């Protein structure tokens, strides 16, 4: 009987000790949740965001709260931006497009060549008909929606047209999602002239606020818990440009002749959609060949 009592006592001590250790460990490792605090003032392309309006501040709070807690997604976007923004930024500047529009590309695709359920493709998410109307080549051989430089140029053409018709950059951004004609019609129907005064479909209603949220988080990373040293960023690798004016019957062989392989060729030239390249008369394609990053 004494043996049993002694065994029970020892077991109790072990259980209590284990709980104490676990509780102590938990206290040390669990960090308190930090709520979202809105910036005191904010703008999009120099156009003030009316945060004094109750619904506007709440809509921004929603997107900031959601995106700051999408930890893996937001971290990946920050890493990709290190590679994509140096390509996007000078093209925006060349066309007189405000730098803030690079965050539109962020929310459209996460800075990858994504495909939407509706068939939009690329970083800037062009539908095939729209891309063709704006002069991009889209077929089974070549799809320029996957070319970051060319698709950014095309996005600039659209945004300049939208700004001219709508009157400001915020409405131009909203039209990228809601359609320019649709936005203009809604302004007329609701007898307003400002994005923040419009009642829209949920996606377009949130659209500009998603851009604002990613702008705020990516410009103030440490404030939102993203401490990203340069060593973890995805690099923009240097490349050489090879101009092609005649058919390439075998892209794998072509890649080998350039000192790389088929996989690397497609990574750096995702607009090549086939195993060969058919070149029409008087047509020139520029193929990017990386100069480093793949040494074995």
pLDDT of residue 28: 42
pLDDT of residue 37: 86
pTM for the full model?
A: 0.87
* 71-113 residue pLDDT tens: 999 999 999 999 999 999 999 999 999 999 999 999 999 999 9
pLDDT of residue 21: 38
Residue ranges of the chain with per-residue pLDDT less than 70: 1-34
pLDDT of residue 13: 44
pLDDT of residue 36: 81
SS (H, E, C) the chain: CHHHHHHHHHHHHHHHHHHHHHHHHHHHHCCCCCCCCCCCCCEECCEECCCCCHHHHHHHHHHHHHHHCCHHHHHHHHHHHHHHHHHHHHHHHHCCCCHHHHHHHHHHHCCCCCECCCCCECCCCECHHHHHHCCCCECCCEEHHHCHHHHHHHHHHHHHHHHHHHCCHHHHHHHHHHCHHHHHHHHHHHCCCCHHHCCCCHHHHHHHHHHHHHHHHHHCCHHHCCCCCHHHCCCCCCEEEEEECCCECCHHHHHHHCCCCHHHHHHHCCCECCCCECCCCCCCEEEEEECCCCCC
pLDDT of residue 34: 67
pLDDT of residue 6: 52
pLDDT of residue 296: 79
Structure tokens at 172: 């131009």
């Amino acid at each position: 009987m004494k043996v049993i009592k002694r065994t029970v006592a020892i077991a109790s001590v072990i259980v209590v000790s284990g709980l104490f250790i676990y509780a102590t460990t938990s206290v040390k490792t669990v960090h308190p949740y930090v709520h979202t605090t809105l910036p005191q003032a904010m703008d999009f392309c120099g156009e003030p965001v009316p945060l004094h309006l109750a619904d506007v501040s709440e809509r921004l709070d929603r997107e900031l709260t959601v995106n700051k807690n999408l930890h893996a997604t937001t971290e990946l976007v920050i890493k990709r931006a290190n590679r994509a923004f140096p390509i996007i930024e000078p093209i925006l500047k060349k066309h007189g497009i405000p730098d803030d529009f690079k965050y539109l590309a962020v929310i459209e695709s996460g800075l990858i060549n994504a495909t939407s359920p509706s068939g939009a493709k690329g970083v800037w998410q062009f539908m095939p008909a729209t891309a063709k109307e704006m002069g991009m080549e889209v077929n089974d051989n070549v799809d320029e929606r996957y070319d970051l430089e060319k698709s950014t140029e095309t996005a600039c053409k659209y945004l300049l047209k939208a700004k001219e018709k709508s009157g400001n950059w915020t409405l131009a951004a909203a039209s990228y999602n809601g359609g320019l004609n649709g936005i203009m019609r809604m302004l007329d129907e609701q007898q307003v002239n400002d994005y923040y005064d419009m009642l829209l479909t949920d996606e377009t209603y949130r659209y500009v606020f998603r851009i604002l949220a990613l702008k705020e988080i990516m410009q103030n990373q440490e404030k939102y818990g993203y401490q990203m040293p340069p060593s973890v960023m995805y690099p923009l690798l240097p490349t050489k440009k090879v101009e092609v004016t005649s058919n390439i019957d075998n892209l794998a062989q072509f890649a080998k002749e350039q000192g790389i392989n088929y996989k690397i060729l497609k990574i750096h030239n995702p607009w090549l959609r086939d195993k060969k390249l058919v070149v029409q008369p008087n047509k020139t394609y520029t193929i990017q060949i990386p100069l480093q990053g793949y040494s074995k």
